[in-house]
Amino acid sequence: MQQQTPPQQQRVAASANPDISVIGDFRGLYRSYGSHNFDAVFNEAEFSFQSVVDPYARADFFYSVVEDAATGEFSSEIEEGYLTTLSLPAHLQLKAGRFKQQLGRVNPIHAHALPFVDMPDAYVNFFGEEGLKGDGVSLIWLLPNHTFFQELTVEATNVGENPSFERSAKNNFLYLAHLKNFWDISDNATLELGLTGMSGENLAKKITNIGAVDLTYKWKPVRYNTYKSVTFQNELYYSQATLDSSTVNAIGFYSLLNIQVAKRWFLAGRFDYSNNPYSEKFLQESGSLTLGWYATEFQKIELEGKYTTMNEALPENSNEKEFALAYLRWIFLIGSHGAHQY
Amino acid sequence: MKSKIILTIITVIVSAKISLAGTIHVVTTTQDTKSIAELIGGNKIDVFAIATGYQNPHFVDPKPSYIIKLSNADLYVTLGLDLEAGWSPSLLTSSKNKKIQKGSDGYVDASVGVSLQQVPSSINRAEGDIHIYGNPHYWLDPLNGKTIARNICNGLEKISSENKDFFEANLKIFYAQVDMKMKTWNAAMTSFKGAKVIAYHNEWCYFESRFGFKIVDFMEPKPGIPPTPSQLVKIIKEVQENNIKVIITSPYFTASSSDVVSKQTGAKTLVLATSVGAFESIKNYYDLFDYNIKLLTAGLK
């Protein structure tokens, strides 16, 4: 018997072009210190191009143009550009190129998709505003565990400059391993535990090892998942940096509670605690509250207030040890942008 | 005696494993395609559906736990168009299962061959949540269910050609059942041809055109935009002027806006089922229409 095929019909939007999108990130800023208290800056335009390459792989490119708030000048870079295989056996996947590394919950996500405007203090102090990313390969293995989800990622990269790690002039790559564990507690609630270990060269040309733990609880009623949700997300970094004549053991963490109070309204509170990877005596603590209004999937406005205390005066904060910051962020997207991870 | 019991247990386990080894593992994005797949595949397949019946299929969270099912699937059935665009592609990529990637034999787009409605001539997001290929809620016309079944049957035959006759026989039964049921559903709706209703979201056009009632307006001012006070005022006026008896909505929308209109006008809010499993009594694809036709005809009387 011949297999029957339903009649084909013409459909619009058939195209060999990749999915293309542009995301604008416009910000207003208030700072309580110094003489220049207010800023308005077109923080970033992100251009993305995403598509399947052939039956064996897909490619994702993110090109970022960023404004320097102090000078008003723009600089640009390939934020990410990588190939992902689609047909490796044994539930393996290989990623090659420049990519954000598989560290915790914040690092792999682009800033515009996060529920707060500024990055957590510990994240900035250990990995910088741009986070941990590098040029290299990432091998992902979905473990054959049928009870709960487990995925192991191992990465070797020529790391981008960040506070903890430097690009090595020798053969020291950054090596990273991440184990993601995910459980469905009920139809409406999930728990994720991530364990990360990484090792690479630091600014003293010696080795820094960092261990990280992330723990996220999400509650989202299946039936009304567009109306209400709660996310309780925590990340902790423990760094051991070997320097010329000493070893610095530093920690940093944040704790985030993000509550969707109505279909379009989100309220996020975050507590930050952080040393500096090269000083365990340095201590920075802050609390912030962000109110977000999500007009559609393509536009949102967020207002964040943040109060910070630190035990050392820093020139970038006009040597103030206690200060307040307020951000207003307007994110807008045109085109077709891929979904972010759960 | 003891050794006989052990031998029996081992035999049962081994035969169960052999039987499972021959089972085709199917993952569908929704409960409707799961139901149709089960009717075609019978005992040759086991099916897992990602979205529940009372969930908005546009906004399913791509939980990693679904990846476990996808990683071991032999066949993946998507409703296609851009209905699951926000979650299906990322799950497929993460599944690391080449058998079910788009273009593989184990990938079934259930929409192939469906005559689409509301295909936009241009894409303008100022019009709200517009679907670029046309309205994707096509499974709510039972005759489109036959096309879905044909596509699933084709997919099953590609990966399990030895069971082709079995699948084709079940497909014929499904066609006959839908044709027989259509007579009952059409008969029930005959008195309500042209009856005017309000809908919450623009997801009923296939159901509407098949059964001949008329949606005159939507609670959402534009698709995906929550009802505004001015839209509610407009709807209340339309309900009163046209003597509209019914507002149809879906399980995953809150009732607060439709309740306002109901209180002001006396029109009934009916929560119709958009999928199998939306309510306890809807066990399969036929039940979906039995439930909706019964509720709608009672409301329109």
pLDDT in tens, A35-91: 999 999 999 999 999 999 988 999 999 999 999 988 989 999 999 999 999 989 999
Please state, rounded to an integer, the average pLDDT across all residues of chain A.
92
Q: Convert the pLDDT of each residue in B2-17 to its tens digit.
A: 555 555 454 444 444 4
Contact A341 B54 (CB under 8 A): no
Contact B86 A297 (CB under 8 A): yes
Number of C-beta neighbours around residue B175 at 10 A: 15
Query: Packing angle between helix B88-95 and helix B64-71, nearest 10 degrees?
Result: 60
Q: Convert the pLDDT of each residue in A143-196 to its tens digit.
A: 999 899 999 999 999 998 899 999 988 888 999 999 999 999 999 999 999 999
Q: Convert the pLDDT of each residue in A237-254 to its tens digit.
A: 999 999 999 999 999 999
Average pLDDT over residues A199-208: 95
Nearest chain B CA: its distance from A220 CA (Å): 9
**What is this structure's pTM?**
0.89
Q: Are B276 and B55 in contact, with CB atoms under 8 Å apart?
A: no
**pLDDT band (50, 70, 90) for residue A14:** low
Nearest chain B CA: its distance from A7 CA (Å): 5
pLDDT at A171: 86
**A121: CB partners within 8 A, 6+ apart:** A252, A254, A272, A273, A274, A284, A285, A286, A308
Q: Convert the pLDDT of each residue in B95-127 to its tens digit.
A: 999 999 999 999 999 999 999 999 888 777 777
Task: Say if residue A2's pLDDT is above 90.
Answer: no
- With contacts defined as CB-CB under 8 Å, which chain A residues touch B71? 91, 142
The answer, yes or no, to whether ipTM is higher than 0.90 is no
Q: Convert the pLDDT of each residue in B31-62 to its tens digit.
A: 999 999 999 999 999 999 999 999 999 999 99
Average pLDDT over residues A300-305: 98
Of B89, B113, B154, the CB nearest to A3: B154
Nearest chain B CA: its distance from A181 CA (Å): 9
Contact A223 B54 (CB under 8 A): yes
Strands A279-296 and A133-142, sheet pairing: unpaired
Which residue carries 């962020």 as its tokens?
Answer: A329
- With contacts defined as CB-CB under 8 Å, which chain A residues touch B85? 339
Longest dimension (CA), chain B: 82
pLDDT at B111: 96
